[in-house]
Amino acid sequence: MDNNRPSWTSKYAFIITTIGSAVGLGNIWRFPYIMGQNGGAIFLAVYIILICTICFVPLINELYIGKLTKKECVGAYESIHPNLKYVGSLNPITGILISAFYFIVGGWIINYIIKSLTSCNIANYDEYFSLFIQSPIYPCVLTLVFLFICLFVTARGIKNGIESANKILMPLLAVILIFLVIVSLRLPNANLGLEYMFKPDITKLNRHMVLSALGQAFFTLSIGMGALLTYGSYIKEDKSFVKSVYTIIFSDTIFAILAGIMIFPAVFSFGMTPNSGAGLVFVTLPKIFSQIPYGNVVSCAFFILLFCAAVTSGISILEGPCATLIERFKMSRQKACVVLFAIISVFAVPATLSFGLLENCKIFDKSIFDFLDFLTSNVMLPLNTLFLCLISGWYLRIKGSAIINNRLMAFLFNIGLKYVVPAALICLMFLGLN
């Protein structure tokens, strides 16, 4: 056992950091627009059912494998079987590829914070957004600034960096979110947005939506790239973590629902459409902010909220590959962060340019940004989770009763790990590939 390995300073630190990892752009940017594209309330209902019945399985499994092996991803797989280290290596690779596009959106957020602070008026938001992402230098610089901020936190270590940042940013995020929910609910006709969110229309239920809800749930819980495995490996031997998992899942879902309550009443109040896709947060919302009293303050608060969410998740994405560099390549944490900066830039810079300068450079008919998003979300994340569930369920034969006290949950865990989650993941990958 490596005595130099860091561990969480308290249970609270573990919970808040894992919630920080879960609550990110996935909740505040992706969840509302995917819900908007999939019929509102019915999507929410399906999402909650999936979260309660199957999504906790891979979450507990990943944390447990980390806690059991006390190693970073590659070492963890290797300690199960030497040949599995190749499968394990997919995890840090996924992390690096996800960072490439996650940090680009982080750069956009910084731009919008600056815009809100400098209170300049934008006449046409659609045009502004597309011109901004197409420009060759500014988005690139901001992406690297965002990456630098996250790596700076990571380089300070678990206690002084990751834990401290989460202990400050997560409560701030909660306060700003509640403030914005109140602002949104006070707008005229806010109830239309609430109806859209909470009055399910069962006729809109379809297979595609169920699988999108599943993909969204896995992404938001940060399952599938070893971030949780690494966080799990910092849990002290004698500590049980399963109860914390319920708190984490509950909080993540509440944050997503609150993000919806913040966005949809505003969207309906101004007669806009909730299904505008990825531009919902960067085009539709700024339009709304420009029309409400103290719009700049609200806009600034909103993008700071997104920033906090993106930083706490960004550092969780980085911690997996960082721990691999530290433990396998015997680097210091600082050096590992410098190396990561270089590697991630190699992917992130072309991906940033894929909206403008490199727009004609296509991989499988997709821009570099879309390809990275597609490859990680639809292929690599489900594949990593599938491997880990099969390894735990069929090779290690882990039993729910060894980890979970509650009998029903332990039973659900057993069938989930061996059958339901692998089957669901295979369907998810087929959906993604078609």
User: Contact positions toward ligand TRP, by CB under 6 A?
Assistant: 21-22, 24-27, 219-220, 222, 224-225, 227, 313, 316-317, 381
Residue closer to ligand TRP (CB basis): 325 or 353: 325
Residues 6+ apart with CB under 8 A from 250: none
Please, which residues bridge with residue 362 across strands? 367
Q: CB 51 → ligand TRP: shortest distance, Å?
A: 13
Q: CB 16 → ligand TRP: shortest distance, Å?
A: 14
Residue closer to ligand TRP (CB basis): 26 or 422: 26
Q: Collapsing DSSP states into helix, strand and coil, what is residue 281? A: helix
Residue closer to ligand TRP (CB basis): 246 or 270: 246
Residue closer to ligand TRP (CB basis): 22 or 298: 22
Residue closer to ligand TRP (CB basis): 15 or 22: 22
Residue closer to ligand TRP (CB basis): 38 or 269: 38
Q: CB 26 → ligand TRP: shortest distance, Å?
A: 2
b/e burial code for range 61-85 (CB count within 10 A of at least 16 → b): bbbbbbbbbbbbbbbbbbbbeeebb
| 237 backbone dihedrals φ, ψ, rounded to 5° | -45, -50
Q: Collapsing DSSP states into helix, strand and coil, what is residue 366? A: strand
Q: CB 309 → ligand TRP: shortest distance, Å?
A: 7
The Cα 290–Cα 293 span in angstroms is 8
Q: CB 163 → ligand TRP: shortest distance, Å?
A: 16
Sign of CA dihedral 219, 425, 244, 259: positive
Q: CB 19 → ligand TRP: shortest distance, Å?
A: 10
The Cα 404–Cα 21 span in angstroms is 23
Residue closer to ligand TRP (CB basis): 313 or 352: 313
DSSP annotation of 379 reads I
Residue 362: in which H helix or E strand, if any?
strand 362-363
Q: CB 347 → ligand TRP: shortest distance, Å?
A: 16
Q: CB 18 → ligand TRP: shortest distance, Å?
A: 10
Closest CA to 359 of 349, 346, 369, 345: 369
End-to-end CA distance of the chain: 45
- Number of Cβ within 10 Å of residue 297's Cβ equals 15
Pairing label, strands 362-363, 366-367 = antiparallel
Residue closer to ligand TRP (CB basis): 24 or 92: 24
